[in-house]
Structures are given as C-alpha cells and as structure tokens.
Amino acid sequence: MENENHVNHGEVVNDIENEAPLDGNGNRRYWSEFPERNMSYTGPLLVKRTNTTSQIAIVGANLSPIESLDYEMFENEIFKQDWRSRGKIQIFQYVILKWGFAALIGLGTGLLGFFSNIAVENIAGFKLLLVSDLMYKQRYILAFVALAGCNICLAAAAASLCAFIAPAAAGSGIPEVKAYLNGIDAHSILAPSTLFVKVFGSILGVSAGFVVGKEGPMVHTGACIASLLGQGGSRKYHLTWNWLRYFKNDRDRRDMITCGAAAGVAAAFRAPVGGVLFALEEAASWWRSALLWRTFFTTAVVAIVLRAGIQYCATGKCGLFGEGGLIMYDVSTANVTYRGADILAVLLLGTLGGVLGSIYNYLVDKVVRTYSILNEKGPGFKILIVVTIAFLTSCCAYGLPWLATCIPCPDDPSVSCPTVYESGNYKNFHCPAGHYNDLASLFLNTNDDAIRNLFSTRTFKEFHISSLFIFFVTIYFLGVVTYGIAVPSGLFIPVILAGAAYGRLVGRLFESISKLDTGLYALLGAASFLGGTMRMTVSLCVILLELTNDLLLLPLVMLVLLISKSVADSFNKGVYDQILKIKGLPYMEAHAEPYMRNLVARDVVTGPLVTFSGIERVGNILHILRTTGHNGFPVIDEPPFSDAPELCGLVLRSHLLVLLKGKNFSKDKVLTNQNILQRLSALDFAKAGSGKGIKLEDLDIEEEEMDMYVDLHPISNASPYTVVETMSLAKAAILFRQLGLRHMCVVPKSQHRPPVVGILTRHDFMEEHVHELYPNLKPHRWTE
C-alpha cells in the first residue's frame, strides 16, 4: 500500500516500515486506518467499516509497501552545500560514471538475453527431439508422456521459483517497470531475487511449451540490472565507493532503469532503435534529450553483444539448437508490391486486429483477476494452476495435430522435408515418408520457430486454411489462460503468434485478388494484433521492421497499427494499463480526465493539516512520526523568526529520521543551521539502496531530549512546488506528472490565512478518491 503523505487527510497509519504478516499464499498485506473519512485506492481492495474508521488493504499486486518516488530535485541546504563543493573533477566523474553504467547495463542485458536464447533453444530442442524420435518409432503414447512430463517438470520448477523466492517475478514485468518510471516505488519488483527468478523462471517457462515469451521478462530483467547498478553501492555490506554517492537518488536511478527497459527490448528482438522508442513511447513518463543519447548508447551495446553471440554460435559451440533463437524472422525476400485490393485487405486486418485485441484484453483482465483470487490459497495452489495449464498446453500441442491431414512435401530439393531431427517448417509427426503435418510444424516447435514458419515467404500452400484457423483459436485461448499464472511470462510472443496465424489465414482467403505474399500477411496480422492489445504504434512499427529486415513494408505496417489501435481504443484500454489497474498501482496518465476540469485543487484537499515549525520540539516530531504515515510535512516559520507565518519548505520523513538519529538538538529555540551543516553530509540523507534505511524504532531518544529543539531549515526543501487553491485539478494533475512530483503544496488565494492549506499526492488525483468525495459528479468518461 502507498505509505504516502496524505497530510491533508489526517489519517493515523500503522507503521508499515515493518514487514506485514504473510497471508495464505506467501504475500503480504498492508493495512491503514483513516479516522477522518473513508479513503479509496486504485486496485482490488478489502474494506472493513466501523462507526469511526475504515480499514483498507490493497490485495492486487501484494508487492512491497508502495510509495511514491522523489524525482524532484530536493533543494535543501545540505544539497546546496554538496553541490557547491563539487569541482570539475567530481563533475567529470559523475558524467563518466553515467555513461559507464549505461555500457554495463547494455553489456549485462545483452549477455543475459544471449544466455536465455541459448538455454531455451537447447532445453526445448532436446525435449522436442526426444518426442520426434519417439514419434518416428511410432511409440505415440510414450511420446505424449515424454512431452507432457517434460513440460510439467519445467513448469513446476518455474512456478516454484516464483511462489517461494520472488512472487513479484510472475508475469511480464512491463507494467511494474512502467509504474516505477511513473513514480511508483514497489521495491521488490527490482530486487536481486526478482532478477534471478525472472531469468531462470522465464527460461523454464518458455521451455515448458507455454504460450508465453521471454521478451516481456527481458524488459524487467534489464530494469533489474539497472536498479542494482544504480543502488550507489551498499554501506551495509561495505561495497560502497565515494564516487557512487552521486547515484543515491531516485532521479538518476530512474534514468538508468529507463536505459535498462530499452536494453531489454533490444536484447529480446535485436531491435536497438525499437528499444529506445519503446522506452520513450511506453515505459518512461518523463524524458530528457540527454536520456535519449544514453538509451541509444545502451541499446547499441546490446546489439554489439548479440552480434558477437551470433558469430560465436555460428561456429557450432552453442549446442545442437543454440543458433535458432538469435535468427531474425527475415521476410525481405518477398515481393512487396501492392495495389488497391491489398490495401483493402490491410484495412480488414487492422479492424480485425483492433476487435480481437480488445476482446483479448477483456478476457485477460477477467482471467488475471480470477487467478488473483485463486492464488490466495497459497504457493501450492499456484504451482497446481501452473501444472494444470502445462498439461492442457501439452494436450493441445500433441492432440490437435492429429486433426490435420498429411501434406506432400514440396518439390524444392533445397528444402529438408520432413524435418525429423532438427527444427524446421516440415514436421513429419505421424505422416508417411515424403509428407508432413502442418499443425505439428506449428505446435511441436519452439515459439520462435513457429513464428518463423508463419512468417516464411514463398511457401504459399504450406498451411491449410483449417490448420491456420485451429492454430489461431488455440493460441488465442491458451494465451489468455496462461497469462497471470505464477511464471515469468511475456505477451509479445503469444500476440505475435496469434496475429501471424490469422494474418496468414486472411492472406489465404484473399489469394485470388491479392499479390502480397502470405508471409507478409502474417507479419501484418501480427502487427494488427500487437496494436490492438498493447496500443503502441511507433515503437512497435520499428521493432517489427528491425525484426523482419524489410523496410518496404513500412507504409502497410504503419497503416495497420494506426487502424488497430484506433479501433481497440474505442472499447477498452491497453493490456498493460489494465494490468496496472488490477495490481492496484496508482498510475498517473499523461492526460487529465475530463471530469477534473470541473474541480479545483482545494476540492480534493480535506482533513486537518500536519505541519512543523522551522525550529521544532523533538517530542512533537516523534509523536507525529509515530501517529501518522505522512512522508512529507510543510515547515512553517512564525514570529519572531519571520514577520508573519510563511511557508519556508517541505521536509521528508526519511530526512527527519536521519536528523533525529544524529541527535543534532539544542536546548534553546534558536537557529543552529550552520552547526548542523558542519556535522552532516549529503550522503547521510541519500536514498537507501536494497538495504533498509533508518526506521522509527532505530531511534534512541532519551526522556530529557524530548523537550529539546531541532532546526529543520537545513533539511527542508526551500523551493517546494506550490499551486494556488483555485487551479483546476486537471492542470494540477498535468503539472504533477510532468514534473515528477511526490508532494504538491496547495497555497491559499487570499491573505490572512495559513500559508499552506494542504498537500496533493498522487492518490488525490486518482479517480476512486475523487469519485468518493463527489459521488454525484457525472464526468464525461469514467474509465473501467
């Protein structure tokens, strides 16, 4: 739950710095009490109501305590002193380290992407080789037992890693990375254990034959690598370095994690430019020109690492099947001339992709919500669900090819048909010599090889229309029921598979009037389904063109993406936005909702305001820290320290704890900021890394110290962002998101009033909060 500063609500929040108790499935629940009024959060909630309090627990994601990140530059006296003390050498160190870390992120992500490809290809390759060998010997029952047994064992191993080591590693991870870059801190999603499970869990899950991909997890993997490098060292394990203190803040970590997300896409698809555009269009909520250069440099490093890996595997040192996962889906050999009838087919594909994508998102939403309820029964039940889906997938992959008829092999002598002991387009399955089973060529292959078969050009009659229809329906269904189980699973590959299947099917239906190759129809179908589910345009277009090595398709891919996104947007949101909603992450959209224009900032500011004086009594600070969950407090100067009450800054809970820990107290209520500056450094107030920061219970304040005073001016942000109370809520929301704020002070419009009337946090902009305050408000559009 968000342990955020709702200073304007006056809630009394249990200290969720401590670990909350585990529930039945090993996840944690975090509870709050709100004595003034009922408070709503986004996401699934458990609510207990009494006459005086409401207790609310977020049970959607069940991640770590969710707070907001401090992307704002906190300009207090400590920071200013540290900045003034930096010379040219320190600035040079900082710049060099940022570029060095960008290179390390690219190197690490590229190596892990290469390792994942090799591992999946070899594990799945040997499994399929065993099944093909048994089928060739006509030991059909034993072949199914081998397939199902291998899939279940691999799936159970992947589920065990997720259930017992890192539950946050389940799913694709893209929504969580997107939320982090939006300013939401769910710490465990970037933990070292999550990285470990993400890498090995995705390898096991994809090898188990699930209709999932390792591309989404690669984005999460890149972000985890960047987060580990961006910790600035560890004082707990004495792994820190004086230079690394520059990175102990949320702003620099955000930039590095953006580079990591771009590197993940580049490693997954060998699309360096697409990775940069993905980070810009989909992942990052804030962007700077300097960040563009660093992400581009990071993805370039990834491309170099993967190219070196391809050349290494070309020597045959990557195992029997090691080279397959690093090959592009090359369609550049096809004829790309098109005419009016082809444009009509593309329009149909775009419309169909939008409709199918919106239905897919709707079903995924329902399935993930159902799994969230079922997973509460414990880790064992999570594993049971995974094993059940693995068995269902094995039954479909082995049973459905029996419905297909055998097709004679093509006459081309350069084609290996049937392919028995290797991956390829023509699987023999149970067919006689010189024949192949087209459904087996799709089902009994790795997902990468199945896509390659569907994208293959100049193979017009390779797949029957009935086989393409069966494969599309099956993949569509399996993709829906598989997403949300306790394994690392990406959505790119299932969507590409299903889209390529119905795209090739449309190509077969238009064969009498169209001149486009069916492989190109498969590519356009994949693009339409991607646009209909993920609602991305520019980045997807570039990724697909880099993936298939055919720039001539650019106009058609652009057209089909625009149509599919426009059609799907009329029904529901993109799949990642829906997952964010399900997980209860308070994501702020780039645009303000229409109903916000009917409200002003003061309309959502309620409850008593908690403030500190510029020179505050130690006992008062401790009492407020113990009885509230606020993370930020306005600091007010009053006479004789000022002519009239005035807002002199904003102080954070974490900084107060550091100040109290250092016991920089005085017996008299006087300014002591110069003395404090000599005893404190900026490193003392730096963002804590993976280790825990100072907790309230870590303080050892003596009884006689409770009546002493502490000067808060040196640690107060002297330039907090403020908005006048009459500013429209829509305008305030846009400012809040674009500036990357955690707190926004609301000041009065008239004089002779307190200098601050409340504080806005991201929860005050959430639809549920506004709707609860104004249930009779009829906005233009309420999102679902």
- Domain assignment present for residue 437? The answer is no
Q: Is residue 233 part of a domain?
A: yes
- Please, which pLDDT band fits residue 203 given cuts at 50, 70 and 90? very high
Contact 757/746 with Cβ under 8 angstroms? yes
Could you tell me the pTM of the whole model? 0.86
Contact between 653 and 780 under an 8 Å Cβ cutoff? The reply is no
pLDDT at 382: 92
Of these ranges, 54-58, 173-177, 513-517, the one predicted with the greatest mean pLDDT is: 173-177
Is position 361 within any domain? Answer: no
Higher pLDDT, 415 or 307: 307
pLDDT higher for 478 or 700?
478
**Secondary structure element (H or E) that encloses residue 632, with its range:** strand 632-637
Q: Domain range holding 182? A: 88-313
Extract the tokens encoding 712: 């808060």
Counts for the chain of helices (H) and strands (E), in that order: 24, 15
Local structure of residue 462 (DSSP, 8 states)? S
Residue 694 predicted with pLDDT over 60:
yes
Confidence of residue 424 (pLDDT cuts 50, 70, 90): low
Give how many domains the chain has, as a whole number: 1
Q: What is the CATH number of the domain that holds 168?
A: 1.10.3080.10
**CA 61 → CA 31, 168, 169, distances in Å?**
14, 8, 11
- Return the top range by mean pLDDT from 147-156, 404-413, 435-444: 147-156
Whose structure tokens read 């699930």? 210
CB atoms within 10 A of CB 405: 12
How do residues 152-177 score in pLDDT, each as one tens digit? 999 999 999 999 999 989 988 999 99
124 lies in some domain: yes
80-89, 209-218, 479-488, 686-695, range with the lowest pLDDT: 686-695
Q: Does position 273 have pLDDT exceeding 60, yes or no?
A: yes
Those residues with Cβ within 8 angstroms of residue 556's Cβ, 6 or more apart along the chain or in another chain = 338, 342, 346, 520, 524
Query: Does residue 104 fall inside a structural domain?
Result: yes
Q: Flag whether 592 is in a domain.
A: no
* Residue 499 is assigned to a structural domain of this protein: no
Q: At what angle do helices 88-136 and 215-229 cross, to 10 degrees?
A: 150
Average pLDDT over residues 222-246: 71
pLDDT digits (tens, 9 = 90+) for 715-724: 888 889 999 9
Q: For residue 239, tell me if it sits in a domain.
A: yes
Is a pLDDT exceeding 60 seen at residue 37? no
Residue 77 has what pLDDT? 75
User: What's the token pair of residue 264?
Assistant: 């993940």
Q: Which of 123-137, 150-164, 583-597, 687-701 has the lowest mean pLDDT?
A: 687-701
Distance CA 103, CA 756 (A): 45
